[in-house]
Structure 1
Amino acid sequence: MTRPTARVLALLEILQAGGTRTVGELAARLDVDERTIRRYVAHLADLDVPVESLRGRYGGVRLVPGRRVPPLMFTDEEALAVLLGLVAGRRAGLVTTSVVAVESAAAKLRRVLPVALARRLEGVLETAEFTAAPLTPATPGTAILIAVAEAARDYRALALDYTDSRGVRSSRTVHPYGIVAHSGRWYLTGADPADGEVRAFRVDRVEGVQPLPGTFEVPVGFDRAAAVLAAIAGAPRRHTVSLLVEGLADHVRALFPAGIATVEEDPDSPHRVRVLIQAERLDWVPGLLAGIDCPFWIEGPDALRPLVRALAQRVAVAADGIP
């Protein structure tokens, strides 16, 4: 059940949208009776919120025009959500501002919180730990991230100055479909208007953006996250591992971490798929293959075979239980 404090703050949020609201309208939106709404209005007045009740045919409740509302009023859950969001976002490498900016924002939030609540939240932050932080977080500039997100929202083409993984700089035109956060990085996915191919770009490698005239349409049902993961999995690397796996595509795809493998159905066999894995090194691949729970065959590369045999031998020795 929602606590009364949360409903009072929800009432304030509605009033801050502007205009005069009838008591009946507010009661319906907050799922309480009209008498409770009047009590909530009294609570806001006790907190020095400039709220007034108007009588008459066009009466209701509104914020006093020209008066300022206190800057921050959070419930316990809202305050914890904001603070943890700041800390977790910084740890995940997804906050586009500096560490100083994050700490400054958190400090401002703490200053306006009631002392008792601030002390309780400090206890959470002092004892919280975060695992699986990215080894090399890459944070794009705030202005770049906002620019590409706005272009995607407004269906506006962009001219990008981009540096790829090999350090090659280029200028290209993109129809941005959206941005995706994955493994401590922000990615932009969109189509090249020249050939219609969907691509993914690391936003931290974008050095400049320029909106272009005209608009475009996003394909119906386009999955931004799936497109980014497919682009990451298919990006060319030193080795291409090819497997034939007995099983349905959806089941086999779920056996691999997101963004690792590309799964293609075999047109000659409805119960067999081909899995392609792009890798700079092969030493980690045998452990990944050990998790496949259905029959499979390694098509290549040949350099992978002795690594898999070595892992199989180590596992067999461990199974004997003899140190």
Structure 2
Amino acid sequence: MPKPAGRVLTLLELLQSGGTRTVAELAERLGVDGRTVRRYVGQLIDLDVPVESVRGRYGGYRLGPGHRLPPLMLGDDEALAVLLGLLAGRRTGLVTAGRTASETASAKIRRVLPRHVARRLDVLLDSLAFTDRPGEFDTPDADVLLTLADAVGHRRPVAMRYTGGDGRRGERTLHAYGIVAHAGRWYVTGRDADSGEDRTFRLDRITDARTLPGSFEPPEGVDPAERVVSGFATAEYRYEVTLRIQGTTEQIRARLPASVATLEETDEEGWRRVRIRAEHLDWLPPVLASLDRPFVIETPDELRTLTTEFAARLTAYADHP
């Protein structure tokens, strides 16, 4: 690509990053003088790119609203973030309208990706799982995400630097089974080669990852998403709550998903035992009230007290003139 044409595209990319850019700033970034910047802006305007001139002390150029979307300049990380967002929307049901537009947008981005990035992306997509409560996903570090995906796809051990919830840093070697997007965060789950235990790690706490020589065989029928969700429900917390609730699994799961509670059948027809591990109890009385189903609190006593107090407050609110 001739240098002037390349600089015009770089100018467009700078303007697409948002805000007003001064002529001096643009000239410095492009390695040209102010007169050349103005000429490049003129070329963008000739291409129907809506560039606006902003007057004043802090004036310069910015992209304005236009009836045509200007050509987008995306880096590898940006393209990956867009594709993950589109994919998450389709797989979790967040994108219900405009599905065809979502798919064609994905296809257009994939078509212009460098081959090595496209290959790694294919491996990544095969390694991903989404739970049924997606939230809004943080964008993970692209290098970490792609490296972990390679490790999952090729069944290779991966070394990573990880910061735990207590702030302690260390290096782990993981036999990764899969990458899971759950409740707005990204996780990798697998067997910790050092401890021999199954573990789940948050991707935003991984600062570096690299694949290692060798290979491993994952367990038969392993379901990474199920492991992450059940791990949250059975983690150690301050309180162990046991309830009996009269209702169907669907009715109970509407307020107490698998990531929060485990369900068991009981000898009483139509009743299910619910077990919850929680660090705090104050959120539970409103949830139980929203179920609108008969329930019995077995443990702990503190939850009975909180529920009674919550019911008294509701009664007082309802009786207030």
Q: TM-score, normalised by structure 2?
A: 0.51
Q: How does 1:1-323 map to 2 (within 5 A)?
A: 86=82, 89=85, 138-193=138-193, 197-246=197-246, 252-265=252-265, 273-317=272-316, 322-323=320-321
Give the 3 Å change call, closer, same or farther, for CA 283–144 of structure 1 in structure 2.
same
Cα distance in 1 between the residues matched to 2:155 and 2:84:
30
Which residue matches 1:55? none
Amino acid at match of 2:184: G
C-alpha distance in 1, partners of 2:207/2:171?
A: 10
Provide the C-alpha distance between the structure 1 equivalents of 2:197 and 2:164, rounded to a whole number of angstroms.
17
Structure-2 separation of matches of 1:179 and 1:139: 13
Q: What is the Cα deviation at residue 308 of structure 1?
A: 0.8
Q: Secondary structure at the match of 1:237?
A: coil
How far apart are the structure 2 equivalents of 1:239 and 1:183? 22
**Paired residue for 1:72?**
none
| Residues 171 and 260 (structure 1), Cα distance of their counterparts in 2 relative to 1, 3 Å cut | same
Unaligned runs of 5+ in 2: 1-68, 73-77, 89-107, 110-133
- Aligned residue for 2:186, secondary structure, equals strand
CA distance in structure 1 between the partners assigned to 2:218 and 2:291 by the alignment: 36
Letter matched to residue 291 of structure 1: S
Instruction: State the partner residue of 1:43.
Output: none
1:271/1:167 CA distance change after superposition, 3 Å = farther
Number of matched pairs = 204
8 Å Cα contact 2:243-2:298 kept in structure 1: yes
The amino acid that maps onto 1:220 is E
Comparing 137-146 with 304-313, which one deviates more in the overlay? Answer: 137-146
Q: Please state how far the C-alpha of 1:196 moved relative to its aligned partner.
A: 5.6
Q: Can you list the C-alpha shifts for 1:90-143, whole angstroms capped at 9, x where unaligned? A: 9x9xxxxxxxxxxxxxxx98xxxxxxxxxxxxxxxxxxxxxx965xx7543211
The alpha carbon displacement at 1:179 in A equals 0.8
Q: Which amino acid in 1 is paired with 2:185?
A: R
Pair 176,133 (structure 1): closer, same or farther in 2 beyond 3 Å = closer
Q: What is the root-mean-square deviation of aligned Cα atoms in Å?
A: 4.1
Q: In the alignment, residue 260 of structure 1 is paired with which amino acid?
A: V
Q: What letter corresponds to residue 286 of structure 1 in structure 2? A: P
CA distance in structure 2 between the partners assigned to 1:313 and 1:273 by the alignment: 26
Alpha-carbon distance in structure 2 between the residues aligned to 1:164 and 1:272: 39
Q: Is this contact kept in 2: 1:249–1:264, CA < 8 A?
A: no
1:222 aligned counterpart, secondary structure: coil
What is the CA distance between 1:153 and its match in structure 2? 1.1
Contact 2:161 2:171 in 1 (8 A): yes
Q: Distance in 2 between matches of 1:307 and 1:222?
A: 40
Question: Identity of paired residues, percent?
Answer: 44
TM-score by length of 1: 0.51
Q: Aligned residue for 2:37? A: none
- Residue identity in the other structure for 2:241: V
1:311/1:143 Cα in 2 relative to 1: closer, same or farther (>3 Å)?
same
The aligned residue for residue 118 of structure 2 is: none
Distance (whole Å) between structure 2 residues aligned to residue 157 and residue 269 of structure 1: 48
Structure 2 contact 172–194 (Cα < 8 Å) conserved: no
Distance in 1, matches of 2:208 and 2:138, equals: 16
> How far has the Cα of 1:284 moved from its partner?
1.3
